[in-house]
Amino acid sequence: MSISARPVSEIYTPQSLNKLIPPEPSDHYAAWGYDIAYEVDRNEEAFPDGSNTAIYRIYPGGMTEPVWVTKKEPDSKFQLTVLLGQGVLIRAIPGGPPHLNKLDGNNPVIRPGWAYSIVNTGDTDLLIRDVATPAFQAGDDVELTKSQSHPGKGPLIPPEDMFYTSIETEQGELNTIWAATFFDTLGEAAAGRLRVY
């Protein structure tokens, strides 16, 4: 079996008596080129206390789907740690251009209101440890690859020199606006043409 066919649990060993729990198999993860597992303590409780930990294994040429962090707690954060390989974190704030953060031991943080994707820019697997504080729950992010409609709303007129796309909440409210350069950067990453300093 090649290393690229092995699950996260075969290439990463959690600390102390912790273990990894894989989610249900998903074509979604395979389509983006990554696998994921969740680190839990010996009682299968989220780890560390008050948080939870995901381990991402992003294959060469792969990336995580772009999401917008919608966690309600203002002091929330996702702390990333590179365990193996090399990559880049693409992140943006509403209306702002993308920021490329080379993943090289600097442990970047992702905050509520930001959009992001993690891209493997190397020739080997990229292994990332992501600790969410407080613990991540369903609904704490929105995938930015799905079309949204704005029934009954007038046209959105951006500044002349910028193009934007928007996200609508389940309640039908226009919640935030993303500069098209964020999606252009994601497209470059998906095509394997992302230029990182």
Domain spans, the chain: 3-146+174-190
Looking at residue 37, what is its pLDDT? 92
Which residue shows structure tokens 């970047």? 108
Quick one: pLDDT at residue 60? 93
For residues 129 and 152, is the Cβ–Cβ distance under 8 A? no
Supply the pLDDT for residue 121: 93
DSSP letters along 116-185, please?
EEEEE-SSS-EEEEEEEESPP-TTSEEETTS----TT-PPP---TT--EEEEE-TTS-EEEEEEHHHHHH
Distance (Å, whole) CA 86 – CA 60: 10
Output the CATH code of domain 3-146+174-190. Answer: 2.60.120.10
Q: What is the CA radius of gyration of the chain?
A: 17
Confidence (pLDDT) at 171? 61
User: Is the CB of residue 189 less than 8 Å from the CB of residue 90?
Assistant: yes
pLDDT of the residue at 3: 43
Rounded CA separation 57/84 (Å):
9
* Confidence (pTM): 0.81
10-residue mean pLDDT profile of the chain (197 residues): values are 57 82 83 92 90 94 92 91 94 86 88 93 93 91 64 41 53 65 88 77
